[in-house]
């Protein structure tokens, strides 16, 4: 019984320290690459800590093992100038049948077996089933 009380007490202490030492949550705006200047008025609000931007894999890896991060660097520099943070999301799934934004070699090289698998989305009652692609993991 004493051991259980000690373990419970230690757990509550650790939990309390985590809450005291935590930071205030921040709001982020979600957008696609290339849309930053169009939403600058939102980004510069005091309650916005930064922006989550979706980058598709194909735009960053132009061919096998050849990377171009210039668009991320441009967005990071812009957000840094506004004193905002950048949260990067690498897109590996797509919600439209024609969207296959992964590097060409992943689609064509035999070792990747086509690179994509179909995905389906059930958006809710009385709405049509959506479909697109997910990168094979």
Residue 98 has pLDDT above 80, yes or no: yes
3-state class (DSSP) for residue 83? coil
Residue 30 pLDDT: 93
As a whole number, mean pLDDT of residues 81-85 equals 96
pTM summary value: 0.73
Residue 85 pLDDT: 96
Residue 7 pLDDT: 56
Span of 45-54, 58-67, 86-95, 121-130 with lowest mean pLDDT:
121-130
As a whole number, mean pLDDT of residues 96-100 equals 88
CA 114/CA 73 separation, integer angstroms:
30
User: What pLDDT digit, counting tens, does each position of 103-120 carry?
Assistant: 999 999 999 999 999 988
Burial bucket for residue 36 (CB in 10 Å: 0-12, 13-18, 19+): buried
As a whole number, mean pLDDT of residues 15-38 equals 77
Residue 129 has pLDDT above 90, yes or no: no
Terminal-to-terminal C-alpha distance of the chain: 47
């Amino acid at each position: 019984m004493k051991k259980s009380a000690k373990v419970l007490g230690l757990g509550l202490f650790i939990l309390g320290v985590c809450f005291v030492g935590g930071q205030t949550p921040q709001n982020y705006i979600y957008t696609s690459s290339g849309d930053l200047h169009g939403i600058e008025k939102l980004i510069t609000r005091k309650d916005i800590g930064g922006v989550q931007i979706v980058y598709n894999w194909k735009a960053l890896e132009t061919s096998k093992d050849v990377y171009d991060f210039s668009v991320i660097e441009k967005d990071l520099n812009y957000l840094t100038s506004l004193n905002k943070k950048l949260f990067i999301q690498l897109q590996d799934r797509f919600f439209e049948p024609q969207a296959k934004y992964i590097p060409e070699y992943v689609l064509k090289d035999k070792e990747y077996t086509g690179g994509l698998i179909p995905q389906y989305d059930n958006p809710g009652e009385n709405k049509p089933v959506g479909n697109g692609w997910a990168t094979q993991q």
